[in-house]
Structure 1
Amino acid sequence: MAMVKKSITVTDQQEQWIQAQLATGNYASDSELLRDLIRKEQMRTNEVEVIRQELIKAEQSGFSSRSPEDIVNAVIARKQTDG
């Protein structure tokens, strides 16, 4: 995997939060923390898109006896099973 070096600017408050995260010992560096945050956001975005697509399919298929919550839970369960 190729790596690209970036330079970012954060507020003092954001820097304090980053340092607090590093102090927990869960991350060895700012870069590791930021890469983890990006991966988590990518996963969240993908999950939202899958749910959106499933809701569109459900709408297009007509009326359903399932509640929106049932549909969302089914999508989440399927995603967990599919990995």
Structure 2
Amino acid sequence: MSRQSISLTEPNDNWLKNQVKSKEYSSKSELINDLIRQARNQQVQVDWIRTKLEKAENKGFTSDSKDQILAESKSLLND
């Protein structure tokens, strides 16, 4: 496992400390690794959706651009 040195803003450092203090995680490293895993999984999902949108757009399924479809999808999720 590689070691890294990172700088955190005070609010982020306090949040990390509180998560460890509340026993959600055993260390800051464990928490940061979990956050990175979550971000990577989210990126996989975003990439999958983007690919689906591009395929639909290329098939002529809709005249809307992928940006328009994505904006509409986001607005539906926020309702």
TM-score bracket relative to the smaller structure? 0.7 to 0.9
Runs of 4+ in 1 over 2 A off after TM superposition: none
Number of residue pairs matched by the alignment: 65
The two structures have a TM-score, normalised by structure 1, of: 0.70
Instruction: Identify which of 40, 43, 58 aligns with 2:41.
Output: 43
Query: Which runs of 5 or more residues in structure 1 are unaligned?
Result: 73-83
Query: Which runs of 5 or more residues in structure 2 are unaligned?
Result: 63-68, 74-79
The share of aligned pairs that are identical, in percent, is 37
**Match of residue 77 from structure 1:** none
For the aligned residue pairs, the C-alpha RMSD in angstroms reads 1.7
**Match of residue 29 from structure 1:** 27
The two structures have a TM-score, normalised by structure 2, of: 0.74
| Distance in 2 of aligned mates of 1:13 and 1:56 | 39
Determine which structure has greater relative contact order: mean sequence separation of CA pairs < 8 Å that are 6+ residues apart, divided by chain length.
1
